[in-house]
Structure 1
Amino acid sequence: MSEIQDYKSKLSDPSSRKFETFSYLPEFSEEEIRNQVKYIIDQGWQPAIEHTEPENAMDQFWYMWKLPMFGETDVEAVLAEAKKCHEEHPEHHVKLIGYDWKRQTQGLAMVIYRGPQD
């Protein structure tokens, strides 16, 4: 059995913090993010965008960017809203969420824009 890697995350080191499963992978390209949005839509989940200040990213509450995009099937429309949120709040982390309405939970959540890391 291979040795399990320990990720040395610390509250005192903002650049070491991890957010959800995807943050342990290398940063996603625009095409890989586009594929995740397509996956959300293909699952019938509701896309949504949230944002928060980097110092508050470990809290459970993030600010909702508008309402979830109920019934949205256009990948580019979802990406455009995420970009607008990032442009409006360039100092914030921006998260893409796919709400699974059948299970009443998040089916996917990933930070797609990171605010400055001090």
Structure 2
Amino acid sequence: MSAMQDYTSSLSDPSSRKFETFSYLPEMTSEQVRKQVEYIVSKGWNPAVEHTEPENAFDHYWYMWKLPLFGETDVDTILAEAEACHKAHPNNHVRLVGYDNFAQSKGTEMVIYRGIAV
């Protein structure tokens, strides 16, 4: 029988919590985040940036950073918006979302900046 790895996560410790699939992997490099944005653009999904306080990430809606970037295909512009959100809210988690128009749902979402619980 193989041993199963347990990820320590606690409601009382917001910095230990896991979000979406990528949070179980090592933190993405800026190049890996860029590749994810390229994937969102290649699928024709509309990117959006959201943020929230770490302690509210599970039981509150996330705040939108501006409107979704409808039709935006410039990867640098999308990354610049995510970075601007992070600079404006350095203690918040920042999440990148790809909205799929045809499925009428999120195609992907990932936390690209982790905030610090206060």
TM interval, shorter chain, is over 0.9
Provide structure 1 residue ranges, at least 5 long, that are not aligned to the other structure: none
> In percent, how many aligned pairs have the same letter?
65
The aligned counterpart of 1:100 is 100
Letter aligned with residue 44 of structure 2: G
Letter aligned with residue 111 of structure 1: V
Letter aligned with residue 37 of structure 2: V
Q: What is the Cα-based RMSD across aligned positions, in Å?
A: 1.2
In the alignment, the residues of structure 2 paired with residue 14 and residue 55 of structure 1 have an alpha-carbon distance, to the nearest angstrom, of 6
Residues 60 and 107 of structure 1, relative CA distance in 2, 3 Å threshold: farther
1:7 to partner: Cα distance: 1.9
- Alignment map for 1:56-67 (pairs within 5 Å): 56-67=56-67
- Alignment map for 1:9-28 (pairs within 5 Å): 9-28=9-28
- Alignment map for 1:71-110 (pairs within 5 Å): 71-110=71-110
The aligned counterpart of 2:42 is 42
In the alignment, the residues of structure 1 paired with residue 29 and residue 12 of structure 2 have an alpha-carbon distance, to the nearest angstrom, of 28
In the alignment, the residues of structure 2 paired with residue 25 and residue 32 of structure 1 have an alpha-carbon distance, to the nearest angstrom, of 12
In the alignment, the residues of structure 2 paired with residue 86 and residue 105 of structure 1 have an alpha-carbon distance, to the nearest angstrom, of 24
1:28-68 C-alpha deviation (Å, 9 max, x unpaired): 00000000000000001000000001110112500000000
1:43-99 C-alpha deviation (Å, 9 max, x unpaired): 010000000011101125000000000000000000000011011111111000001
Count the aligned residue pairs: 118
In the alignment, the residues of structure 1 paired with residue 108 and residue 63 of structure 2 have an alpha-carbon distance, to the nearest angstrom, of 17
In the alignment, the residues of structure 1 paired with residue 9 and residue 79 of structure 2 have an alpha-carbon distance, to the nearest angstrom, of 29
The aligned counterpart of 1:68 is 68
